[in-house]
Copies of this chain bind each other. A is one copy, B any other.
Amino acid sequence: MSDTYRRIALARRPDGAATTEDFSFETDPMPEPGDGEVLVEVQWMSLDPYMRGRMDDAKSYAAPVEIGGTMTAQGVGRVIASKAEGLVEGDIVTGMTGWASHAVLSGKEVRKLDEGTPPSAVLGVLGMPGFTGWRGLHEYGRPKSGETLVVGAATGPVGSMVGQLAKAMGLRTIAIAGGAEKCRIATETFGFDAAIDHRAHDDARALRKAIAEAAPDGVDIYWENVGGKLLEAVLPLMNVHGRIPLCGAVAWYSGDVSETNLLPMAWRSILTKRLSVNGFIIFDHWDHYPAFLKDVAPRVAGGEINYLEDVAEGLENAPGAFIEMLKGGNTGKQVVKL
């Protein structure tokens, strides 16, 4: 075993969009597991939009990453030393390893993968993003057959789960994605009824027109993970008693903000359409995770629910892949293979 390990730290807080200079590469002495802990050699690491929020110093639902601290991430890896009951060398586990080649974690904070599960799938379709889509759609979207759903970032791991679940329940599903290729994937791989390329529409008004054409009966559920221009486009199209599950606003994470004050328009839509807007953070919902796995794992194994991964190779490429992902440069769930 090497006597050092590699990790990626937050070098400084980004000013707007994150850049590679915001990260630093560190080599530190290999940590040793204490009582009840395991040392994990990381094989796969997840990159997710929420991590951009952790780079800021703003008060949020989770503490920000400290300057010099290791960037947060879920990972999958092999136990290479164990002082934790029930875990032995060679076990494949998942836990919050961070952006690092190795991590010491409490045995209680890791979970052994089920037999036959592809390791990277627990970071995406069967992990936090897939679970986010499943839980939020059922709890806050309250879908009904015949309704219309619009979802942004539709080829991402959350959006594609939402779209496929809704389609299976008899909804009309409309994907918003960046570029013709993603639109093709949205309809061909994920079965969306229509896909709209937001890049082909300069402003909210043009995007709204395209969505209105694809949603002749209006929009009952707007799955909100984007914010920005898409939100501005969709709000006036919402039907009475529509629902907006709100789990992200990636367009705003990097400060891309319209100069018009849109809050009065949003509030007016919520009032006059009697909308239900619910913010949620999947970390509040882990008690439903077993029910999610029970429902969705067989449907993934059976090919009813598809997923796509975008694999970056090597820890050193994590910052670049992360920055690209925030710009929509990836296709499917972004993971890093170490």
Residues of A within 8 A of B (CB): 59-61, 224, 227, 231, 240, 246-249, 252, 257-281, 284
Task: Determine whether the beta carbon of B227 is less than 8 Å from that of A264.
Answer: yes
Listed by A's residue number, 6 A-B pairs whose Cβ atoms lie within 8 Å are: A224-B267, A231-B267, A248-B271, A261-B261, A266-B266, A275-B277
In the complex the two chains form, what is the Cα distance from A61 to B241 in whole Å? Answer: 11
Among B246, B261, B270, point to the contact of A259 (Cβ < 8 A).
B261
In the complex the two chains form, what is the Cα distance from A281 to B269 in whole Å? Answer: 12
Among B60, B261, B279, point to the contact of A263 (Cβ < 8 A).
B261
Q: Which residue of chain B has its CB nearest to the CB of A260?
A: B261
* B-chain residues with CB within 8 Å of residue A224 when the two chains form the complex: 267
Task: Determine whether the beta carbon of B264 is less than 8 Å from that of A261.
Answer: no
15 further A-B pairs in the complex, CB-CB below 8 A; given A249-B264, A274-B279: A60-B272, A227-B264, A246-B267, A252-B264, A261-B261, A261-B262, A263-B263, A270-B278, A270-B279, A271-B280, A274-B278, A274-B281, A276-B277, A276-B279, A277-B278
In the complex the two chains form, what is the Cα distance from A52 to B112 in whole Å? Answer: 61
Among B258, B263, B272, B278, point to the contact of A266 (Cβ < 8 A).
B263
Q: Which residue of chain B has its CB nearest to the CB of A228?
A: B264
Quote the shortest CB–CB distance from A331 to chain B (angstroms): 25
Q: Which residue of chain B has its CB nearest to the CB of A247?
A: B271
Among B257, B261, B272, B277, point to the contact of A270 (Cβ < 8 A).
B277
Task: Determine whether the beta carbon of B261 is less than 8 Å from that of A272.
Answer: no
Q: Which 8 A-B pairs have the closest CB atoms?
A: A270-B279, A262-B263, A271-B279, A277-B277, A252-B264, A263-B263, A274-B279, A61-B272
Quote the shortest CB–CB distance from A204 to chain B (angstroms): 12
Task: Determine whether the beta carbon of A267 is less than 8 Å from that of B280.
Answer: no
Quote the shortest CB–CB distance from A158 to chain B (angstroms): 14
Among B240, B249, B278, point to the contact of A267 (Cβ < 8 A).
B249
Task: Determine whether the beta carbon of A272 is less than 8 Å from that of B268.
Answer: no
Task: Determine whether the beta carbon of A272 is less than 8 Å from that of B279.
Answer: yes
Q: Which residue of chain B has its CB nearest to the CB of A59?
A: B272
Task: Determine whether the beta carbon of A271 is less than 8 Å from that of B281.
Answer: yes
Among B59, B268, B279, point to the contact of A275 (Cβ < 8 A).
B279
* B-chain residues with CB within 8 Å of residue A260 when the two chains form the complex: 261
* B-chain residues with CB within 8 Å of residue A284 when the two chains form the complex: 274
Task: Determine whether the beta carbon of A252 is less than 8 Å from that of B276.
Answer: no
In the complex the two chains form, what is the Cα distance from A60 to B236 in whole Å? Answer: 11
In the complex the two chains form, what is the Cα distance from A279 to B266 in whole Å? Answer: 11
